[in-house]
Chain A
Amino acid sequence: MNTLLLVAGREIRTRIRTRSFIISLAVSALLVVGLAFVPKFLSGPDTYKVAVVGPTPAAVENIAFTPYPDEAAARAALAGGDADAALIDDRKIVSEGELDQRLGLLLENAHREAKIKSSGLVITPLQVETGADAQYEGVRTGIATLLVMVLFFLLIYSAMYVAMGVVEEKSSRIVEILLAAVRPWQLFGGKIVGLGTLGLINLGVVIGAGLAAASATGLVADLPPGMTGIVIGTVLWFVLGYAFFSALAAAFGSLVSRQEELNSVLTPMTTLMTLTYLVAYFAAVEPMGTLARVLSIVPPFSSMVMPVRSAATEVPVAEIALSAGLMVVAVVAVLLAGARVYNRAVLRTGARVKLAEALR
């Protein structure tokens, strides 16, 4: 175990200093932060500035009124960008270019309300009532879609590093000296643990950046309850998914002796991952569908579909338990088979080793 940690430590130390790791960390964090700002950007400013000539209307939420002496001064303020619109003598609205739809409605509404009030009529506004699920549906779908992208990116990139590391040791022949000192499973396991730790660090940065951006933009108020559960669940599912795919990556990688051959030998793994990504994306959009429900139980699809489905909607605990149990079994099976293939193939340099031969 000690040796396994030594191997893992080397992986972390050498990889964490590389430019590619730092870049991927920065890119994924920026992506998430950027996406957190999108709703704010699309929804326009929080407070509109309106230049007023003549009587100032009663206070309206989200609008700041500034009085101006005459229409010309108000128009000048508009042109200078000091106001989003101008209200002239309670009679007309002037704007530069198209009038913001929401601002238009707010002003129109305020105008009508003032007129109705002055006529003595009382109107009770309609009450709005929504289901608990529906209330956060939009945000949950948003988070789930984001999660799909982040999980897929991190899984495929971490697994690729595992495969590349295996081939690096095989092609440089250093594996022969390594295996004279350590057992194959220690090398296999150490690589997976080390690069997995880096993947977790990256996931942590992404989640941290996402939450920080959400609180900076005020989006955090819109987050559904149980976010902590979603975050913990995501991390655990990432660990399971990573263990599964990285074991595949290490096993397939050990079959070839040159980096150039890596892409073709990894095709089954990348295909499986892409498939998982597609169904998970589908599940994010339609979390209640049959496909999402079934595939969130079946490994290895569950590793991405379940966290996405849990983010998008409430999933019964029994289903989560069943799904996690099956995934753990699949992970153990793949780790054992992968270690076996690795053990048989990693010293056979030269031509690509056939998978069936290595498994026998």
Chain B
Amino acid sequence: MLEVQDLRKRFGDKVALDGVGFAVQPGEMFGFVGANGAGKTTTMRIVMGVLQADSGEVRIEGRALTGEDRRRFGYMPEERGLYQKMNVADQIEYFSRLHGMSATAARAATAELIERLGLTERRASAVEALSLGNQQRVQLAVALVHSPSVLVLDEPFSGLDPLAVDALAEVLKDRSASGVPVIFSSHQLDLVERLCDSVGIISAGRMVASGPVDELRDSEGRSVLKVVVRGAAPGWADGLRGQVTTDGGRDVLTVEDGDDQEILRTAVRAGTVEQFGRQRPTLAEIFREAVA
């Protein structure tokens, strides 16, 4: 398990992180969301050891993270970067060596990944000669080639076309299914909702919500009861603490709390109930509420 505990970081007068903490289980995909400048990148950089926290700690399996642990991590920073003049295969192989693989293992892993990412024909091309999409693949390869023990990806989906998004999502699911904790940040909340087991919402350097996506959506006060009634007399819901909107002969009642059975009986008496059920908020709604 990877734990981030109470990270604090200042840049001059500006407080970037003010007690950020969360945990990611092995095999779990953790979505890290927040507005620009909320502290996502800073947190990820501290996890990777590229930045030092003023206080707080990153732990793995219950102990403080060491340089050797981090060497087995895979990282894709928000600002992509590759050696422009180095060819694809050399580049991937070089990074696998830097991550501690032997020369033989590095060569084998590089060949396999090039094949899997569909870069076989470009393996001897300089990175600068590749299309943007292929450069992204090389970037991903550099993060994955050493079979990392933890994956940290900063905005991995930004700038990808829908097909590439699906492909990357598959790769990440695959890694996570093999027991690797995966952390990624994204502005695409629907994507996070679809892919992630857990999310953390950060705002102005603080975690405002974090936990399994289902729990966040189900948690009290977040889900609302939605009742659609046709042909009801006006004022039928006056006794209930909810809001009624009328839409083409149908009344839509939303209630945040109350006895749902009592509400159902009232609705049945008033007219024809077309829809009755709890409606869970989307991640986007939770996010807006949390950072507001």
Interface residues of A (CB under 8 A from B): 3, 6-7, 10, 13-14, 168-169, 172-183, 347, 349
Closest A residue to B77 by CB, please name it: A176
- Summarize A's interface: helix, strand, loop or mixed: helix
Contacts of A180 in B (CB 8 A): 48-50, 70, 73, 75, 77
Residues of chain A with a CB closer than 8 A to B48's CB = 180
Other 13 A-B pairs with CB < 8 A, given A169-B81, A180-B77: A7-B98, A14-B83, A168-B83, A172-B82, A173-B77, A173-B79, A176-B50, A177-B95, A177-B142, A180-B75, A181-B71, A181-B75, A181-B98
Instruction: Output the residue of A14, A174, A175, A349 with the most chain B CB within 10 A.
Output: A174
Asked whether any CB of chain A lies closer than 8 Å to the CB of B63, the reply is no
Given contacts A180-B48, A347-B51, contact A10 B94 (CB under 8 A): yes
Whether, in the assembled complex, B99 has its beta carbon less than 8 Å from a beta carbon of chain A, the answer is: yes
Contact between B81 and A176, CB atoms less than 8 A apart: yes
A14 touches B86 (CB 8 A): yes
What CA separation (Å) do A169 and B98 show in the bound complex? Answer: 15
Contacts of B97 in A (CB 8 A): 6
A-B pairs with beta carbons under 8 Å apart, 24 shown? A3-B98, A6-B98, A7-B98, A10-B94, A13-B90, A14-B83, A14-B85, A172-B81, A172-B83, A173-B81, A174-B83, A176-B50, A176-B75, A176-B79, A176-B81, A177-B77, A177-B142, A177-B143, A180-B49, A181-B71, A181-B75, A182-B98, A183-B67, A349-B79
Cβ-based interface call for B266 (8 A): no
Could you tell me the distance in whole angstroms from the C-beta of A316 to the nearest C-beta in chain B?
A: 48
Q: Mark B204-217, 1 if CB is under 8 A from A, else 0.
A: 00000000000000
Q: Does B80 contact A (CB under 8 A)?
A: yes
Question: With a CB–CB cut-off of 8 A, which chain A residues contact B95?
Answer: 177, 181
Residues of B close to A175: CB separation below 8 A: 81
**Which A residues touch B79, using CB under 8 A?**
173, 176, 349
B84 in contact (CB, < 8 A): yes
By a CB distance below 8 angstroms, the chain B residues around A181 are 70-71, 75, 95, 98-99
Produce 1/0 per residue, B93-113, CB < 8 A to A: 011011100000000000000
Closest 8 CB pairs of A and B: A173-B81, A174-B81, A173-B79, A180-B75, A180-B48, A176-B77, A181-B98, A172-B81
Q: Count B-side interface residues using an 8 Å CB cutoff.
A: 28
B45-82 residues at the A interface, CB under 8 angstroms: 45, 48-51, 67, 70-71, 73, 75-77, 79-82
B interface residues, Cβ below 8 angstroms from A: 45, 48-51, 67, 70-71, 73, 75-77, 79-86, 90, 94-95, 97-99, 142-143
Chain B CB within 10 Å — which of A10, A178, A180, A183 has the most?
A180
| In the complex, residue of chain A having the shortest beta-carbon distance to the beta carbon of B98 | A181
Q: How far is the CA of A347 from the CA of B86 in the complex (A)?
A: 22
- Give Cα A309–Cα B77 distance, bound, in whole angstroms: 52
The smallest beta-carbon distance between B153 and chain A, in angstroms, is 12
**Min CB gap B230→A, angstroms:** 59
Given contacts A178-B98, A181-B98, contact A347 B82 (CB under 8 A): no
Cα–Cα distance between A173 and B83 once the two chains are bound (Å): 9
Q: Which residues of chain B are within 8 angstroms of A177 by Cβ–Cβ distance?
A: 75-77, 81, 95, 142-143
Q: Which residues of A contact B85 (CB under 8 A)?
A: 14
Cβ distance A41 to chain B, nearest Cβ, rounded Å = 42
> Provided the pairs A14-B86, A174-B81, A180-B73 are in contact, do residues A347 and B98 lie with their beta carbons within 8 angstroms?
no
The smallest C-beta distance from A270 to any residue of chain B, in angstroms, reads: 25
Q: Give every chain A residue within 8 A of B98 (Cβ-Cβ).
A: 3, 6-7, 178, 181-182
Contact A172-B84, Cβ < 8 Å, known A10-B94, A177-B142, A180-B70: yes
Q: Is the CB of A173 within 8 A of B75?
A: no
Q: Which residue of A lies closest to B71 (CB)?
A: A181
Instruction: Tell me the bound Cα distance from A219 to B6 in angstroms.
Output: 74
Least distance between A237 CB and chain B CB atoms (Å): 33
Known interface pairs A180-B50, A181-B71; A173-B99 also in contact (CB < 8 Å): no
Given the complex of chains A and B, what is the CA–CA distance between A142 and B50 in angstroms?
52
- Residue numbers in A under 8 Å from B45 (CB-CB): 176
Minimum C-beta distance from B268 to chain A (A): 61
A178 / chain B contacts, CB cutoff of 8 Å: 98
Closest to B86 in A: A14
